[in-house]
Amino acid sequence: MGYAQLVIGPAGSGKSTYCSSLYRHCETMRRTVHIVNLDPAAEDFDYPVAVDIRELISLDDAMEQLGLGPNGGLIYCLEHLQENLDDWLADELENFMDDDYLVFDCPGQIELFSHVPVLRNFVDHLKRKNFNVCAVYLLDSQFMTDVTKFISGCMASLSAMVQLELPHVNILSKMDLVKNKKDIEDYLNPDSRVLLSELNANMAPQFEKLNKALLEMVDDYNMVSFMPLDLRKETSIRYILSQIDYSIQYGEDADVKVRDYDPEDNED
């Protein structure tokens, strides 16, 4: 059985920075992870790339040969990957051991994980290859400046949850750049009554019923919650990694290693 993180989120939310920091953290812990680049437009990396979609197709080639724009070209590249799941990707996955841990760094186009089925089909392929997969959804903490943006972030995350049907961990990234942590804390442990009051105050009266329904869905079912990530703190990334590991049962079947007892070790 293999293990995988599917790192998704809007453009600029810090996905590649998260992957880089995760790699360095695991390296310090003497734990091996393999980072896979699924962004055909990526150029520079702060981590070793184990598998790169650009070896199959790049965004520049798709745009030049097909006359597509950036968004259309990126969708085409991912659809091309989908057509090669049983060929190119299967061959690449053969290079890893059964219990290896892969981290897929995905593009930031929101339609890829909201309604276009490409990533869903990619996830289904990983499952058929006996991978336990967790979706890691990153949202820029500086985006959380008011209640309307918080609800927007929740709905985008919920859309990805419904589309992918995976264990799901939501992360507020770039917490090291937030000046007033108190403003963010209000959204980490939100009071639905306070949020509803703020939402109604910022929107026209005809939206009050919709606002109430949205907050009740988020609150009653506890479907969306966020964990803060401060990359300056090892404890922060360690905690988030432990939550992801738990969701995909990583390490639960590991053998307990007991060192042979030697009485001489206790002698002064």
129-151 pLDDT, tens per residue?
999 999 999 999 877 878 888 88
pLDDT value at residue 184 = 83
- 159 φ/ψ angles, rounded to the nearest 5 degrees: -60, -45
The SS3 of residue 139 is strand
- The CA-CA-CA angle for residues 249, 255, 256, to 5°, reads 110
* Distance (Å, whole) CA 234 – CA 149: 28
Distances in whole angstroms, Cα of residue 94 to Cα of each of 2, 15, 87, 200? 11, 25, 11, 54
pLDDT value at residue 248 = 95
Cβ–Cβ under 8 Å, residues 157 and 173: no
240-256 pLDDT, tens per residue?
999 999 999 997 765 44
For residue 126, what are the contacts with CB-CB under 8 A and spacing of at least 6? 2, 4, 133
Which letter does DSSP use for residue 203 in this model?
S
Distances in whole angstroms, Cα of residue 50 to Cα of each of 190, 206, 261? 39, 52, 39
pLDDT value at residue 263 = 42
pLDDT value at residue 268 = 45
Quick count: other Cβ atoms within 10 Å of Cβ 153? Answer: 24
Low-confidence ranges of the chain (pLDDT < 70): 221-223, 253-268
